[in-house]
Amino acid sequence: MNMAPHSSFVLNHRHLLGIEGLSAAEITGLLDLAEEFVELNRQVEKKRASLRGRTQINLFFEVSTRTQSSFELAGKRLGADVMNMSVSSSSMRKGETLIDTAMTLNAMHPDLIVVRHHASGAVELLANKVGCSVINAGDGAHEHPTQALLDGLTIRRNKGRIEGLLVAICGDITHSRVARSNIILLNAMGARVRVVAPSTLLPAGIERMGVEVARDMREGLAGADIVMMLRLQKERMNGSYVPSMSEYFHFYGLDEKKLGYARPDALVMHPGPMNRGVEIDSSVADGAQSLVREQVEMGVAVRMAVLEALSRNLPNA
Amino acid sequence: MLSERRPILLANARIVDPSRDLDTRGDLLIADGQIRDVKRGIGAGGVPEGTEVFDCRGKVVAPGLIDMRAFIGEPGAGHRETLASASEAAAAGGVTTIICQPDTSPAIDDPATVDFVLRRARDTAIVHVHPMAALTKGLAGEEMTEIGLLKAAGAVAFTDGARSIGNAQVMRRALVYAGDFDALIVHHTEDPDLIGDGVMNEGEYATRLGLLGIPRAAETVVLERDVRLVALTGGRYHAASVTCAESLDVLRRAKDAGLSVSASASINHVTLNENDVGSYRTFLKVAPPLRSEDDRKLLIEAVASGLVDAVMSDHNPQDVETKRLPFAEAAPGAIGLETMLSAGLRLVHNGEIELMALLRAMSTRPAELLSLPGGTLKPGAPADVIVIDTDVPWVLDPADLKSKCKNTPFDEARMQGRVVRTIVGGRTVYEHL
């Protein structure tokens, strides 16, 4: 164990609150560091000691088994003591819980706090109240930076580059933090980004975030190297944003036929969990062009890279 | 009581009286709670014995401000603001008359509550306070209140405060009925369904922050409806807070058609825009939301031209319990009584509005709309007078604010100009030394 990482990359930020504000060089630095952890994670001995003695708290105000376990594994493989804390937002008064919990946790001297919250900006609010590094694991419809990083890593490993690729992001853009973080990262890395959705799921002014906008899949997927599908929440497909699940699947669900509009070597991604038969057909989700499982693998490596890079900034590091 | 008030001579002043389009050098004499005389050389010609002579050295003397929209916590939420604390804040900001809103607990929807507010104000407040009464019982938007009795008790206008009345029939009947009493109906025009889960102005900035937007149409749809109801009924109507270009178009058409329609804009909407929300600053969360810079520019132009009649503070005290939250969960509202004049003076210094037009929108027009005696420096008028140093630079320290809550959007802001003396009914209630 304890083969030192080759990359000595240091992220010159105290927190990772979003992709916004990261330079292309910083993103590349994180992805390069993550590559080393991909290798490490494929070995029998997966442990490093770089976070030994450090305390990492995963503070989840919104349930997410996948993201939380990915962060937990990442921290443990780097040697940190990891504590999971799930705060059900319904059981307590929301905002009070956020600040009070932040103060309480801060008094326990954690080194890193990983936060997921249902409100945009909540992670930044919390970061202003604590003395340690904070990692945004998703805040409302704002950002989910580690998801965009793992998507970037997955793309780069499979296509050899990000620059110059055409990435189509399809589905509920309005409510998606995954979409926002990816739009910012892909633009920073020189990709072309297109969003594809019915107009009710496209937020105002989205075209000014550096994306092309399409309202149907044939036009939207034309020439795409990557097709990134987004999850559509059940409560939004009963007539409020789209008329029904079946209408949505008919026009926007990714099946073999619609995937045929993209480039023949196009690859399919999904941040999970997937609604099979709503936004993606099983044959595509499990097909040869799907990168969904690799995304999960990259998730652990990217989170290790983020933890490692931020911890190099911590006092007494 | 009256005898305790020494006469005051405000000497060597720049007299600005929007009620007479007067902007001139001169002196102003106050005695027995009234403005006695306004002209050059009063001091030289002799003043009553015991007169306090205040050398203004060219500072502006103007009618005290009349703030058409302030939310006060009394009764029911005195921990946020009382009539007393609001009046201290008002005095420090040059506001000599507060028009308080009926969104209290209980709501100001019956004559006894109007009477309570007036008595509390008389006993505890250092500036004039007049309540607007609820337009519908319990602010529920369903049944109209006792408009005639409430007006007789002292309500100066009728409004459901921060709430919008969704039912057009209720609004129609209220306009018709209020017309018989020549009562002014004031309405917050925002369609709650179009607001939905929105928390800031719809557009690129909200999208970047991942916040759900509120379209301008949420405001304009209701205003447009109301204007058509005014045309139908002939009532007297005032839009409580217009914020966007489209609303100005509706307002212009209504006025051109000769309807009895007027409007206010909040000091926040004429001085700030959606970008000031920055990284989720909840003190900048107001209702309606701050709009784009283009809207702001058109709004201040409309104030300057008189299309928008009044500028009000929209004073709305919120404490940490309601503001130190994620943006979407925080309550809307910002305090403004103490800062509206200084914030407005920024616009004067930037050349966006003349001092006369600003003061007219903050004093003379509200007095006219509400049939109040202030808003003028004519001899015989009540001595509600302020002295303004338009140039003094200062930085707003929230700790200095008199309001019980510190939710100011001008936190740490650099200001230029402030009130240095506030006189209410001939008595000095604030002095900045």
pLDDT digits (tens, 9 = 90+) for A274-307: 999 999 999 999 999 999 999 999 999 999 999 9
Structure confidence at residue B407 (pLDDT): 97
Work out the average pLDDT over A38-66: 94
Cα–Cα distance, B382 to B373 (Å, whole number) = 7
Model confidence pLDDT, tens digit, residues A107-131: 999 999 999 999 999 999 999 999 9
Q: What is the CATH number of domain B64-370?
A: 3.20.20.140
- The interface predicted TM-score (ipTM) is 0.92
- Report yes or no: B249 and B192 within 8 Å, Cβ to Cβ: no
In eight-state DSSP terms, residue B364 is I
Residue A141 above 70 pLDDT? yes
Spatial CB neighbours of B380, under 8 Å, sequence gap ≥ 6: B34, B35
Cα–Cα distance, B388 to B416 (Å, whole number) = 11
Structure confidence at residue B196 (pLDDT): 94
Residue A207 above 70 pLDDT? yes
Spatial CB neighbours of B68, under 8 Å, sequence gap ≥ 6: B99, B186, B264, B310, B312, B366, B369, B370
* Residue B314 a catalytic site member: yes
- Report yes or no: A280 and A253 within 8 Å, Cβ to Cβ: yes
pLDDT tens for chain B, residues 1 to 433: 344 689 999 999 999 999 999 999 999 999 999 999 999 988 888 888 899 999 999 999 999 999 999 999 899 999 999 999 999 999 999 999 999 999 999 999 999 999 999 999 999 999 999 999 999 999 999 999 999 999 999 999 999 999 999 999 999 999 999 999 999 999 999 999 999 999 999 999 999 999 999 999 999 999 999 999 999 999 999 999 999 999 999 999 999 999 999 999 999 999 999 999 999 999 999 999 999 999 999 999 999 999 999 999 999 999 988 999 999 999 999 999 999 999 999 999 999 999 999 999 999 999 999 999 999 999 999 999 999 999 999 999 999 999 999 999 999 999 999 999 999 999 999 999 8
Structure confidence at residue A99 (pLDDT): 86
Can you point out the beta strands (E) in chain A? 55-60, 81-86, 112-117, 133-139, 166-170, 192-196, 212-214, 226-229, 267-269
Cβ within 8 Å, pair A121-B325 = no
- Report yes or no: B199 and B185 within 8 Å, Cβ to Cβ: no
Angle between helices B111-124 and B83-93 (to 10 degrees): 60
Cβ within 8 Å, pair B213-A204 = yes
Spatial CB neighbours of B376, under 8 Å, sequence gap ≥ 6: B17, B19, B20, B63, B364, B367
Structure confidence at residue B268 (pLDDT): 98
Question: Testing the interface with B: which of A118, A128, A142, A230 to mutate, by most B Cβ within 10 A?
Answer: A142
- Chain A touched by B244 (CB under 8 Å): no
Q: How many CA atoms lie within 13 A of A297 on its CB side?
A: 15
pTM (whole model) above 0.90: yes
Model confidence pLDDT, tens digit, residues A8-31: 888 889 999 999 999 999 999 999
Structure confidence at residue A91 (pLDDT): 52
Cα–Cα distance, B72 to B153 (Å, whole number) = 19
Cα–Cα distance, B216 to B246 (Å, whole number) = 8
pLDDT category at A96 given cuts 50, 70, 90 is low
Model confidence pLDDT, tens digit, residues A255-274: 999 999 999 999 999 999 99
Structure confidence at residue B3 (pLDDT): 42
Cα–Cα distance, B156 to B176 (Å, whole number) = 17
Cα–Cα distance, B291 to A122 (Å, whole number) = 23
Cβ within 8 Å, pair B279-A124 = yes
Structure confidence at residue A98 (pLDDT): 85
Cα–Cα distance, B419 to B93 (Å, whole number) = 6
Cα–Cα distance, B257 to B235 (Å, whole number) = 14
Domain with CATH 3.20.20.140 in chain B: 64-370
Place of tokens 């995937």: A259
User: For chain A, what percent of residues have pLDDT higher than 90?
Assistant: 84
Q: B8-61+382-431: what CATH class? A: mainly beta
Backbone φ and ψ of B133, nearest 5°: -100, 160
Question: Testing the interface with B: which of A15, A97, A120 to mutate, by most B Cβ within 10 A?
Answer: A120
Residue A1 above 50 pLDDT? no
Domain with CATH 2.30.40.10 in chain B: 8-61+382-431
Residue A5 above 90 pLDDT? no
3-state secondary structure of B80: coil
Provide the shortest C-alpha distance from residue A116 to chain B (in Å): 13
Provide the shortest C-alpha distance from residue A176 to chain B (in Å): 8
Identify the CA nearest to B323 among candidates B278, B268, B287, B280: B280
Task: Exactly one of B103, B110, B309, B314 is catalytic; name it.
Answer: B314
Provide the shortest C-alpha distance from residue B215 to chain A (in Å): 9
Spatial CB neighbours of B83, under 8 Å, sequence gap ≥ 6: B72, B74, B100, B117, B120, B121, B124, B125, B129
Nearest Cβ partner of A206 from B207, B209, B327? B207
